[in-house]
Structure 1
């Protein structure tokens, strides 16, 4: 999070507003002409509050937003009691004044809490408030504590708890998408499993389970790839329904192979009949096609064998992927979230050493960075790595060619450390200078450039 650069700005902005937070009227407001229509002005202010809530102002500046709501409610009650237009419009003006304060402070909080706001918005879109109400309320309470502190000029809670809260919202987003998109498929697979699908219809069960896991992995790795998630989830749900139907038929006394063969035959006949016409010539052609269906069914049997072989390959690939994910989880536990980010990319492990940073134009490894590399030694102890590529990255300041050269020196410095300390064999490690070509943050800010001066470990396992 980029919080420290906002300390001075927030302190100056809130210095004048802290004392006014509990006042009956806002620090500044614009009066409304007494000739204005109270009903119209109340309705307009109501819309302004709804718009602000859509932009999360109610959680980014809760006290000012609450004061704005209270002032508007006071105006509505005054109108209901037949109070003077002047009294009603005064409360409406106060409401807009408090809302103006809330918007201004929410803008600053939004800058400081950019990652949290993005994560929270994702969880909202995923329906977390309904699907995981208790966890959502707990996260919202933590966020309220942070934003209330920021509203009063105190950044300490945001600095200490911001990364953890961001991670909680992102996890809730993924869990909510899985529950919303895959609950029916999960229920179908559980029901079929209860009826003995693993033994009665193993081919269909494995295919349904594989498609469910593929959709689940897609959500976990890229929860905002909505179209791909929709397609994968529909595919998993359809295959799970097919599993329930096949299991029921097998349970009634058939074999799985006979059920699948009958389905293929039915699809073949349906396709032929769908094209049937009343002409004599067409009728004769269709009869010939029906006679040839047995040949097609024989070919389908061979196709089924090929599919089974392919399914075995997919299961092996799936197992490899699960093993890789499990290894990533073990490595991830060795680091704090602020120290490293661990994820999988294809059949490789990626370890982004966030806390391993370099000074501008420098490639030396300092004491703090050495501590991070010691954790790398512990993390890689149980990883059977066939190759480790150390990617050095730089920010975009200065000459591009020199940046590439500098990033390579940084990668080589890490390589020497890992080899010298026996963490990775010399014949299994390679240092590469990437330069500024793959930034992960904004190169226009000091904090962003510091994050871009990083080391990524690309680990290939055997």
Structure 2
């Protein structure tokens, strides 16, 4: 970190110009007695501030401190109404120390270039505000080094310089990370504490990946703030999305369902954009007109399904029914409606659930409802098909009894052909003995 040449320069400067912490600096330039003390004090105040901005307080702490003290003495004399000569003498001393400090600062920079550069980077990263305690400790260590350099010794630089550079670089990286990733970090940690690894593993993984990508970029070059800002914005958005997913999951939805619904909403938005673009570009040809109308109809159908699904999710408990959309239709999987093996009978609990479903459907314009009956794989295919048909018809009959128009409700048995659970387990077979309502909402004119 130092060189023989630097040591010679420093040593020569020390022999020629340095005079301990004497009350008067070397080579003082007197201020004319006719000068205005108030004006000279104000000008010197600005000179001290400028010197601090150039890091003289750490590069030449003794001279900077002497400049501050003698300026303070000048202000004290002014308050005590002492003679202008005495006031101006202290002002000239302050300027002399600043001049001496400037010389020493230049020498210190030559011998402590990497340290000064590392500290400057940490200052730009706002380390003093973000990590005040750690910064204060570092500054104390630096003051000990610069004090020795100011007095003509490079031993402290040789011994402690590498560690100081590393420490300033580290606090710079941490400060940049706190500025750009602070919000994302808190959001991810809160989600992890709320067991996001089990509730929303996909969303958590995406947020962590974006966070780690940004942290890696900061570690590589914390001063590349333009690139860091871009990826950090992605990390923050992904962590915000994780928080949104966790809120919906905690309300009783599965992450799979939440992400599927988001995908469908994006598709609807994409369709809407495409439709608008088509509308702007339509020519007079009949073929183009029909294409646009078909796109509008598809959009309206999917939007009607999305609106119906939202209403059903709001009014039905997650443990009773799972609701999702596909191809403009709404599927209501009646999780709370269970059949005993081989049975198509509806118990009181099942009838109560169907009554609630019909009540919600009263507020949703529908053109058709298909009741699909399903069984587990126990028994032969013909038997299962008959049982599934009986289950579907039992639910159809109950829905009509509750007020659903008979002409709009069909029943179909699908046997064991479409399992959703493992037929090798009791729990899986219970899931497969189910009823799905396939609803086609009416498109409002």
Whether the aligned pair in 2 keeps the contact of 1:72 and 1:91 (CA below 8 Å) is yes
Cα 1:26–1:271 change in 2 (3 A) is: same
1:175 corresponds to which residue? Answer: 174
TM-score by length of 1: 0.60
Corresponding position: 1:15 with 2:15: yes
* Aligned-residue offset at 1:169: 0.7
* Aligned-residue offset at 1:206: 0.5
1:77 corresponds to which residue? Answer: 76
CA–CA separation in structure 2 for the residues paired with 1:288 and 1:146: 77
SS of corresponding position for 2:187: helix
CA–CA separation in structure 2 for the residues paired with 1:207 and 1:51: 47
1:290 corresponds to which residue? Answer: 299
Corresponding position: 1:232 with 2:231: yes
| Structure 1 residues 361-380: aligned runs within 5 Å | none
1:158 corresponds to which residue? Answer: 157
1:4 corresponds to which residue? Answer: 4
| Structure 1 residues 187-198: aligned runs within 5 Å | 187-198=186-197
CA–CA separation in structure 2 for the residues paired with 1:184 and 1:291: 39
Whichever of the two has the greater Rg, that structure is: 2
* Aligned-residue offset at 1:219: 0.6
| Structure 1 residues 32-431: aligned runs within 5 Å | 32-270=31-269, 284=293, 287-288=296-297, 290=299
- CA-to-aligned-CA distance 1:89-124 (integer Å, 9 cap, x gap): 111111000000000000000010000000011111
TM-score by length of 2: 0.62
CA–CA separation in structure 2 for the residues paired with 1:93 and 1:286: 84
Q: Return 5+ residue gaps in structure 2 as ranges.
A: 283-288, 304-324, 328-445
CA–CA separation in structure 1 for the residues paired with 2:269 and 2:153: 71
Cα 1:164–1:284 change in 2 (3 A) is: same
- CA-to-aligned-CA distance 1:409-441 (integer Å, 9 cap, x gap): xxxxxxxxxxxxxxxxxxxxxxxxxxxxxxxxx
CA–CA separation in structure 2 for the residues paired with 1:39 and 1:268: 72
Cα 1:108–1:289 change in 2 (3 A) is: farther
RMSD of the TM alignment (CA)?
2.7
CA–CA separation in structure 2 for the residues paired with 1:289 and 1:55: 67
- CA-to-aligned-CA distance 1:75-102 (integer Å, 9 cap, x gap): 1112222222222111111100000000
Aligned residues: 296
CA–CA separation in structure 2 for the residues paired with 1:222 and 1:214: 13
* Aligned-residue offset at 1:135: 2.2
Whether the aligned pair in 2 keeps the contact of 1:3 and 1:155 (CA below 8 Å) is no
- CA-to-aligned-CA distance 1:24-55 (integer Å, 9 cap, x gap): 11111211122222222111111111111111
* Aligned-residue offset at 1:59: 0.4
Q: Return 5+ residue gaps in structure 1 as ranges.
A: 300-462
* Aligned-residue offset at 1:68: 0.4
CA–CA separation in structure 2 for the residues paired with 1:163 and 1:31: 42
* Aligned-residue offset at 1:10: 0.7
CA–CA separation in structure 2 for the residues paired with 1:75 and 1:31: 14
Whether the aligned pair in 1 keeps the contact of 2:2 and 2:158 (CA below 8 Å) is no
Cα 1:289–1:32 change in 2 (3 A) is: farther
* Aligned-residue offset at 1:286: 6.4
- CA-to-aligned-CA distance 1:392-417 (integer Å, 9 cap, x gap): xxxxxxxxxxxxxxxxxxxxxxxxxx
- CA-to-aligned-CA distance 1:320-342 (integer Å, 9 cap, x gap): xxxxxxxxxxxxxxxxxxxxxxx
Whether the aligned pair in 2 keeps the contact of 1:268 and 1:293 (CA below 8 Å) is no
SS of corresponding position for 1:21: coil
